[in-house]
Structure 1
Amino acid sequence: MTPMDELPNRLATTPAHDGRRWLVGAAIGAAVLIATYLIAVWTVGGQVVENAALRGADQVRPDELDTANQALGDITVWSLAIAAVLVAAVGLLRRRLDLAIAGVGVIVLGQLITQTLKRFVLPRPPLVEVVGDYTQNSFPSGHTTIAMTVLFAARIVVPYRWRGVTMLFALTWAIGIGAYTVTAKWHRFSDTLGGDAVALVCGCLAAWWLSRRGAITPYRGRPHRARVVLAVLVGVGAVGSLALGALLLWGIPLARGTDLAIANEAQDYTAYLGAHSLAAGASGVTALVFWALWHRLEVAGRPRPQGDALEAPNARAS
């Protein structure tokens, strides 16, 4: 059995109060962020491939472009504030101030890290000659970070029994945002992957803080089969999207011996489709990694006063 095969078993046998799994998750996110930046932004090949995908996005149908711009435009300071308030409200309704702080902290920390990196820390060097306004730095993607941190914050604060429903709707939206950034030419694929990585770091750090407080406990209730089916479907779709994106972006051009540095409508559009597919798949895989780290774990609500009505034995898991 390889070390990667042993990882799920190790995580499953790690005590719920042990924060190592969250630190490992945060380290993975940081490693992906650094590797993506070095490979995609600081190499000629990375810039050539992503510039071709941006040129290919010029061929997107007007209705698809309008949909992408609308979805991205709906993410504003006000909508982000509303999302943070809703996350905090769920934590407070569960009578856990620490849960509210952790959920809001994921969203706020995600933007602090992303905007600081993009504006002040991670420049985009002019390694290749480009045609069009593709030289500005946009790594990592703020919109992708917002979508994924809101997803992770909701994942942290909602009761265990609502976890599957929350993931179904929020995950669909978050994956769509990642792909739309490429469609609307607001970001490159690497920007989206960078945003996913930042969100994973923030989500794992918040979970680590909760675990250090003893707030995370094992879930003792029955398994939810529908949730397992959902996770499998999302996993198959995400991995398939990554495989298709890699084939379109690197496999086909390599087999044909084409040079993506030379503008060509057909190959540029193929590059765009590959980047779009990779963006969606990366967001899906990142979400599943965070979901897997929470397998059979929960943050229980505060116990009710003894004068309240008697609860069912598994009410603590709600």
Structure 2
Amino acid sequence: MEPMEPPAPVAAEHVTAFRHFNRYFTRRIGVLDDHYLGQDRPLGEARLLFEIGDGASLRELRSRLGLDAGYLSRMAKALEAQGMVRLSAHPRDNRLRMIEPTRAGRVELTEQNRRAGAVVAGLLEGLTPPQRAELTRAMATAQRLLRLAGITVDLVDGATRDALACLDAYADDIDERFPEGFDKGDLVRPHEVSGEAGAFFVAYEEGRPVGCGALRRLEPGVGEIRHVWVHRDARRLGLARRLLDALEREASARDFTVVRLDTHAALKEAQAMYRACGYREIPAYDDNVYASHWFEKRLDR
């Protein structure tokens, strides 16, 4: 089996533009200042104080912020020494370290939020209301695309814990959406979407599975795409198309010239995506009781 085609190379001008914007924005909001927002701490400690909220475990914060354990521990101890937080063991698990704000920490965070809001308001004052709305829309687009860029789509064995968890979540999701419900017994079997028989992809965002898609062999030269699913928290990013593209490239690598799929009448958005991605509706090719639309796409070699 040939390896999947790598993604298109990133143009140098796109890299340059991204770095230029990053340098400009971080300078304008004072990220490089050791006294972020005029308070007596750098951005890292200020952000940690914000993320702690009413209290959290260091393990949770490390996962959420993607920080090295040692670096997080040093920042937590610095905030503790300043009287901003208190560290303690979890009441039911001594291995778990908890961190919560003190009264002084809550006062500090309130002031931090006030100053941050004032900085943003000051930046936006120079724009007209339509320009502010335009900027807000542009930032929403940038956040959506950056989230999508940060998600990886990995080929995994269909029997892995993440693959099975995604299938389980998919089944629960469509069981709510289908008027007749859904029987988990109708999910693909791990051996059908692993090794020579097929493929299974899991989408990860910051280490958390947020989507999946399966490919299995129907007959010589023909593959079937199954169970394309995106977690509700990761929808409207374009991730379903990423998954579909990965499945199609894998099908091409396996010398499939055609891929087919079916979908339920209730999944209007899925039908629209398949049509937009070059799939044409065909007569029923299987007896799937949940299907009301069947699609096919010929793959470019």
Give the TM-score band, short-chain normalised.
under 0.3
Normalising by the residue count of structure 2, what TM-score does the alignment of the two structures yield?
0.27
Identify, as 1 or 2, the structure richer in strand: 2
| The structure with more radius of gyration | 2
